[in-house]
Amino acid sequence: KREGFFSLYWPIREEFCTMYARLSNGGTADMLLENEQDPFQGGLFIRAKPKGKRTLRMESLSGGEKSLVALSFVLAIQKVKPSVFYLFDEVDMFLDGANAENVAKLIRERARQAQVIVISLRKAMIMEADHLYGISITKPGVSEIIGKVSPELLEVKSEAHDG
Amino acid sequence: KREGFFSLYWPIREEFCTMYARLSNGGTADMLLENEQDPFQGGLFIRAKPKGKRTLRMESLSGGEKSLVALSFVLAIQKVKPSVFYLFDEVDMFLDGANAENVAKLIRERARQAQVIVISLRKAMIMEADHLYGISITKPGVSEIIGKVSPELLEVKSEAHDG
Amino acid sequence: MYIKSLELNNFKSFGGMKVIPFLPGFTAITGPNGSGKSNISDAILFALGPKSSKVIRAGKLTDLIFNGGGEGQAAKKCRVSLIFDNTNREVPIESDEIRLTRVIKISQTSDNYYSYFYVNGKISSLGEFEDILSSTGLFGHGFNLVQQGDINSIALMTSTERRKIIDLVS
Amino acid sequence: MYIKSLELNNFKSFGGMKVIPFLPGFTAITGPNGSGKSNISDAILFALGPKSSKVIRAGKLTDLIFNGGGEGQAAKKCRVSLIFDNTNREVPIESDEIRLTRVIKISQTSDNYYSYFYVNGKISSLGEFEDILSSTGLFGHGFNLVQQGDINSIALMTSTERRKIIDLVS
Ligand SMILES: Nc1ncnc2c1ncn2[C@@H]1O[C@H](COP(=O)(O)OP(=O)(O)OP(=O)(O)O)[C@@H](O)[C@H]1O
Ligand SMILES: Nc1ncnc2c1ncn2[C@@H]1O[C@H](COP(=O)(O)OP(=O)(O)OP(=O)(O)O)[C@@H](O)[C@H]1O
Ligand SMILES: [Mg+2]
Ligand SMILES: [Mg+2]
């Protein structure tokens, strides 16, 4: 059980540092186990140092900075346990324009090796997709799929956020 | 204590229904006490019926629909216990373009009777404001206030979401 | 191996029969609040047969059946099929595609419901679904389906909860 | 009665002395993630002297002192002043403006810190702050300061927690 945990923990930790450095354009992050002898007795601490700042605990980061760290953690797990299919539902919700673009580009890269579906309201994400579906309510309370449209055409786009 | 509770509960409930109907362009919502005899023994249920849909419990609503209900609740409390100063920090985060615009217009109305500060990344909200400040990091880790600029000019705007 | 399409029949807000083709590469789904985007991710999770209905944001499984919306009739059952490509025979079934179908039907008599599983049209079980899925690599335990709100709850969880995520994927 | 300005001196990411003029009407504050927007709302809450430091997202009050950022020196104290208009004498003090100032200073010797309150430059106490604020109507219990994440936690809370919100404002 302990071996099983560590066989995943070390690669996830390594990937996590790489992912965060990439998504934050040069920040650094690290994971620390509260109890390395017996990890199941303690928690997992994450420290992040956004570019140009001091190292901070997860609690002192801003809303957007926290969600970038959480996303890096998830992307690291996915990298260590790869799949042929990924779905991301509004993972870019807390991010400003620049961060949303970084995340969209990284997910675009994932889509080279696997099938990726994202649900998003953000232009930065929608612009990266190969195919775009709009969902809308036509009859009261009934969802319809507007079908494959090019990103430029879709009416919903004006709903989407830019940047 | 029970009187004190009901002297607030009934007006908040009334305001809540008005607020939600307005923010959802014609939906209806209601509050119900689990135990009307002794409210402190039970909880407060909220049911909402987004326009054109059936009545639903809070749990079955979508992310954006839930946050519209929660926002209506807060705005109703503020109406019943008015103040001369309000601050809203990214309350429009989960909303699509149309909902974000509705909320921005409502907060704009509040600003006629009180001083209002909003923190937001959304164009719909920023466009409603009389004054706009940008905050940015100039020296590593140090926040600066870019100062009063007209919404059109601010560089940060391209970071902001539209719609 | 990839998902070819998802068929929704009276599943949540998708009244009637709706087919969503899934293409290889990068697909984005967008639309207003409450339009039904996250219901698509719920449909995929439903078809994979997870044990807990919390995953599909419903109180009980019958909440997944189309309730009629504003003016329509509430349906009595819902059906979701997940169709994926099997030309390379990753799954040891002689067919170029595998169709996993799950049905929930309200019972006429009581407040009960029936839950059925089908593989390529033949009656099956949750156990067989799990066997098939583990040989596809479509849904390992690697957090490959990130639901709305997951990122925010990871950002806010305690250090022990965060460590438990690694236990789960081991 | 309105807030005229907020002065931040080594408060969180606002190193050095920064003044934010607050105007009547509708003001929006925008900027990238982590630029310091929510720290402004924390500064207002800090100046009002709430008892719990959870409100200001900090472990302990000394976490509020500017830590130097990337290259600078960590400060030893932080000061926040909230200046509001008093021309109508809502607050029974002979002055056209009221300046509430709060200071946190790290003690030289131990891990302790000192916390000071000032009204218009004269030493004061948390009790006097609360008296002054209750006569201004600036911060009733009506949820008039909505922090980042509040809306989401109300959307996700249980029905009992939701009812407790009404207890709080009574
Ligand atoms: N059994 C059902 N029958 C009909 N409609 C349902 C059923 N269950 C849920 N819904 C509807 O589905 C809607 C939620 O859809 P969903 O969560 O997919 O929205 P979304 O597009 O993801 O929105 P957001 O952008 O706010 O996240 C709710 O408004 C609810 O009315
Ligand atoms: N004592 C301190 N000294 C210096 N910097 C600090 C201190 N405390 C917090 N910070 C910094 O303040 C930043 C957070 O700022 P804040 O939460 O205001 O961001 P924000 O603009 O609201 O971002 P978001 O859009 O993501 O919500 C953190 O990155 C943290 O580095
Ligand atoms: Mg959704
Ligand atoms: Mg913030």
Does A143 reach chain B within 8 Å, measured CB to CB? no
Residue B152 contacts D, CB cutoff 8 Å = no
The rounded distance, in Å, linking the Cα atoms of C21 and D113 is 62
Contact B52 A98 (CB under 8 A): no
The CA dihedral of D5, D6, D9, D13, to the nearest 10 degrees, is -130
A-chain residues near B97 (CB < 8 A): 121, 158-161
Cα Rg of chain C, angstroms: 17
**Arithmetic mean of pLDDT over chain D:** 90
DSSP string, A10-43: HHHHHHHHHHHHHHTTS-EEEEEES-SSSGGGS-
pLDDT at C170 > cutoff 80:
no
Which pLDDT tens digit goes with each residue over A65-92?
999 999 999 999 999 999 889 999 999 9
Query: Which positions ≥6 away from A143 have C-beta within 8 Å?
Result: A135, A136, A137, C12, C13, C14, C15, C18, C35, C36, C39
Contact A49/C at CB under 8 A: no
Quick one: which ligand is closest to A96's CA?
A: 2
Within 8 A of B144 by CB-CB distance, chain A residues are none
The answer to whether residue A148 scores a pLDDT higher than 80 is: no
Per residue in C75-134, pLDDT tens? Answer: 999 999 999 999 999 999 999 999 999 999 998 887 789 999 999 999 999 899 988 988
The Cα of B66 is separated from the nearest Cα of chain C by a number of Å equal to 9
Contact A53 D70 (CB under 8 A): yes
Q: Is A107 on the interface with D (CB under 8 A)?
A: no
- Angle at Cα A114 formed by Cα A92 and Cα A122, nearest 5°? 20
Residue A56: pLDDT over 90: no
Residue of the CA atom closest to atom 28 of ligand 1: B61
- Interface A-D, measured as beta-carbon pairs within 8 A, has a size of 42
User: Does residue A145 carry a pLDDT above 70?
Assistant: yes
In this structure, how many other beta carbons lie within 10 angstroms of the beta carbon of residue B26?
11
Structure tokens given for B98: 């149309």
Interchain contact, B131 vs D28, CB within 8 Å: yes
Q: How far is the CA of D68 from the centre of ligand 1 (A)?
A: 47
Alpha-carbon distance of D21 to D4, in angstroms, equals 6
Q: How many helices (H) and strands (E) does chain D have?
A: 4, 8
CA C35 to ligand 1: nearest atom = 21
Q: What percent of chain B has pLDDT over 90?
A: 77
Q: What are the chain D neighbours of A63 within 8 Å (beta carbons)?
A: 33, 38, 148-149
pLDDT band at B65 (very low <50, low <70, confident <90, very high): very high
Cβ–Cβ below 8 Å for A52 and B162: no
Give pLDDT tens digits along chain D (170 positions): 889 999 999 999 999 999 999 988 999 999 999 999 999 999 998 988 765 555 667 678 888 999 998 888 999 999 999 999 999 999 999 999 999 999 999 988 877 899 999 999 999 998 999 889 888 877 766 789 999 999 999 999 999 999 999 998 87
